[in-house]
């Protein structure tokens, strides 16, 4: 076998040489030396690496030793003809382009070569030099294109697989991160919920301490807060405003903590001038006591003005009409409604009906007429939908029962507020409280807790 390589120019860098595709290799197979010589001369200097083989067996040996891009084989050769040779090439090296040289008398063998060897083209002898050169050039270019397409397809598949793995990893990371964020958000929401509950529990505790100054006030602040919250929602206040009104209702009497017992025990219209001068300062005192607490600044402002009157004769600032904050106008109505029934506003405790009449009689004077009207409507609805109450001792209580009334200690302070849902732990505490003090403890629940 003979081998002829094209000249290797010195120009160009190693990097440029590495970027160029390898030189195409052509294998000519013929048992006639003059045919091989003609083909060698024809393709010499045209950019190919040339291999020559003197028959089919030598051609197969050449293919086993080194890579070949294109084979040109004669049809008539002893031992192994072109059809047999090209069939072996197809079976063993299917990527090699196969071209058959044949004479006009060999049409049957040519058809066999086409069928068995799946040749790219056949060229009739004698060939035209330009035609065979163009055929080989086009065949090599097509092979290079197919190889490049195959390379790009493989690369694309590899990249797609890498992208799938990357996307899968990213999705897993995103899912993991999302789960972590959700867990963190859940914990944060739980923490915020705990803070809100602790804040409200603290406010309730302050409210209970205020009421401990006088037993008759037990549950007063909670009732005021409940009525104020319901009325604020009915009058269209947003949830932030409703929250401020409710907090102000719980703490509206905080400024009374420092007042003498004699002043606290008398109804307002029974106080002397000096005692009234002390009492009327309590809204300002209450505001100052709460101003340092950021979450209570809004409530503190309402506490300052909850004794203002609609006609401008109230205290401490003598505000009139709509100049009084709506939350304070609401507190004025619901606070006096409960105080009238406790007997802390006039000389004797009034019934619920008498207290309602008092509000209506003073509508437009002490109170905002619209607030009074809405509150009377609320009271009417509450009476129309009153739930059935059951009085139970701690031993008969069950988890899930709901308090129908505030649970007031015999000393006058609030133990549990109306609406509290009992659980096993609280029921056990109530039972121990009853046993420890030696007095029956009666708890009113709504509809038996159903």
Give the confidence band of 375 by pLDDT, cuts at 50, 70, 90.
very high
Average of pLDDT values for 204-232? 73
* Separation of alpha carbons 371 and 366, rounded Å: 11
The CA dihedral of 318, 320, 323, 327, to the nearest 10 degrees, is 80
From 398, 418, 419, 393, select the one nearest 407 (Cα to Cα): 418
Q: Can you say whether the dihedral through the CA atoms of 426, 427, 432, 435 is positive or negative? A: positive
Tell me the per-residue pLDDT of 125-145, one tens digit each, with 9 for 90 and over.
889 999 999 999 999 999 899
pLDDT of residue 401: 86
Q: Can you say whether the dihedral through the CA atoms of 239, 240, 242, 246 is positive or negative? A: positive
Three-class SS state of 121:
strand
Tell me the per-residue pLDDT of 41-83, one tens digit each, with 9 for 90 and over.
999 999 999 999 999 999 999 999 999 999 999 988 998 988 8
Quickly count: other Cβ atoms within 10 Å of residue 62's Cβ. 19
Phi/psi at 72 (5° precision) = -115, 120
Average of pLDDT values for 161-176? 84
Q: Can you say whether the dihedral through the CA atoms of 161, 167, 169, 171 is positive or negative? A: negative
Residue 395 has, within 13 A of its CA and on its CB side, a CA count of 3
Average of pLDDT values for 329-349? 89
pLDDT of residue 71: 96
Give the confidence band of 332 by pLDDT, cuts at 50, 70, 90.
very high
Residue 449 has pLDDT above 60, yes or no: no
- The radius of gyration of the chain from alpha carbons, rounded to an integer in Å, stands at 52
Tokens of residue 350, six digits: 């009034």
* Separation of alpha carbons 205 and 260, rounded Å: 21
Average of pLDDT values for 87-100? 92
| Range from 1-5, 231-235, 286-290, 379-383 carrying the lowest mean pLDDT | 1-5
Tokens of residue 378, six digits: 């609320």
Three-class SS state of 310:
coil
Residue 383 has pLDDT above 80, yes or no: no
Average of pLDDT values for 232-236? 93
* Separation of alpha carbons 170 and 184, rounded Å: 20
* Separation of alpha carbons 312 and 191, rounded Å: 44
CA 367 → CA 229, 370, 405, distances in Å? 17, 9, 27
Residue in the block written with tokens 């909850």: 306
Bridge partners of residue 395, in order along the sequence: none
pLDDT of residue 272: 86
Phi/psi at 105 (5° precision) = -80, -5
pLDDT of residue 15: 47
Who's near 414: CB < 8 A, 6+ residues apart? 204, 207, 208, 211, 218, 219, 221, 222, 406, 407, 408
- In the DSSP assignment, the letter for residue 402 is B
| Range from 6-15, 80-89, 184-193, 403-412 carrying the lowest mean pLDDT | 6-15
Average of pLDDT values for 438-442? 84
Report the share of the chain in percent with pLDDT over 70.
Answer: 84
Tell me the per-residue pLDDT of 262-306, one tens digit each, with 9 for 90 and over.
777 777 777 888 878 887 888 998 888 888 888 889 999 999 999
Residue in the block written with tokens 């209970």: 208
Give the confidence band of 112 by pLDDT, cuts at 50, 70, 90.
low
pLDDT of residue 318: 94
CA 333 → CA 206, 258, 300, 311, 340, distances in Å? 22, 25, 18, 14, 11
Tokens of residue 180, six digits: 């972590």
* Separation of alpha carbons 180 and 178, rounded Å: 5
CA 123 to chain centre: 71
pLDDT of residue 341: 86
Residues in the chain: 450
Average of pLDDT values for 245-273? 82
pLDDT of residue 4: 57
Give the confidence band of 450 by pLDDT, cuts at 50, 70, 90.
very low
Who's near 297: CB < 8 A, 6+ residues apart? 290, 291
Residue 378 has pLDDT above 90, yes or no: no
Give the confidence band of 233 by pLDDT, cuts at 50, 70, 90.
very high
The answer to whether 307 and 283 have CB atoms below 8 angstroms apart is yes
Average of pLDDT values for 217-244? 88
The answer to whether 277 and 285 have CB atoms below 8 angstroms apart is no
* Separation of alpha carbons 359 and 252, rounded Å: 19
Domains of the chain: 2-127 (3.40.50.2300), 212-386 (1.10.3210.10), 387-450 (3.90.105)
- 412 vs 271 pLDDT, higher one: 271
Residue 213 has pLDDT above 60, yes or no: no
């Amino acid at each position: 076998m003979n081998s002829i390589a094209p000249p290797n120019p010195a120009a160009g860098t190693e990097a440029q040489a590495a970027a160029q595709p390898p030189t195409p290799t052509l294998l000519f197979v013929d048992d006639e030396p003059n045919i091989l010589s003609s083909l060698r001369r024809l393709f010499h200097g045209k950019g190919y690496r040339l291999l020559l083989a003197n028959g089919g067996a030598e051609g197969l040996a050449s293919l086993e030793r080194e890579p070949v891009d294109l084979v040109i084989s004669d049809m008539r050769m002893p031992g192994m003809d072109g059809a047999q040779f090209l069939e072996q090439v197809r079976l063993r090296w299917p990527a090699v382009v196969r071209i058959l040289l044949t004479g006009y008398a060999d049409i049957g063998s040519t058809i066999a070569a086409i069928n068995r060897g799946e040749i790219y083209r056949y060229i009739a002898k004698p060939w035209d030099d330009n035609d065979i050169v163009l055929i080989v050039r086009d065949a090599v270019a097509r092979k290079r294109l197919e190889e490049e397409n195959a390379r790009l397809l493989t690369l694309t598949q590899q990249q797609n697989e890498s992208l799938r793995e990357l996307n899968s990893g990213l999705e897993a990371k995103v899912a993991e991160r999302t789960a972590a964020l959700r867990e963190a958000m859940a914990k944060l929401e739980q923490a915020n919920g705990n803070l809100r509950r602790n804040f409200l529990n603290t406010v309730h505790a302050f409210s209970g301490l205020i009421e401990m100054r006088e037993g008759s006030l037990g549950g007063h602040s909670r009732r005021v807060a409940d009525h104020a919250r319901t009325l604020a929602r009915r009058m269209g206040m947003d949830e932030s405003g409703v929250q401020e009104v409710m907090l102000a209702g719980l703490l509206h009497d905080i400024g009374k903590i420092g007042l003498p017992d004699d002043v606290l025990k008398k109804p307002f219209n029974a106080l002397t001038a000096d005692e009234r001068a002390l009492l009327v300062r309590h809204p300002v005192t209450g505001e100052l006591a709460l101003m340092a607490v950021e979450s209570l600044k809004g409530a503190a402002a309402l506490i300052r003005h909850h004794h203002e009157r609609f006609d401008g004769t109230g205290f401490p600032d003598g505000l009139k009409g709509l100049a009084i904050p709506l939350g304070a106008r609401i507190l004025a109505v619901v606070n006096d409604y409960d105080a009238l029934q406790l007997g802390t506003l006039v000389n004797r405790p009034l019934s619920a009906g008498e207290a309602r009449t008092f509000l209506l009689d003073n509508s437009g004077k002490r109170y905002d007429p619209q607030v009074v009207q809405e509150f009377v409507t609320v009271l009417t609805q509450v009476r129309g939908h009153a739930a059935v109450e059951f009085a139970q001792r701690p031993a008969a209580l069950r988890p899930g029962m709901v308090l129908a009334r505030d649970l007031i200690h015999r000393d006058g302070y609030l133990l549990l507020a109306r609406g509290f849902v009992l659980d096993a732990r609280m029921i056990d505490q109530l039972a121990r409280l009853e046993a420890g003090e030696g007095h029956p403890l009666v708890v009113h629940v709504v509809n038996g807790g159903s």
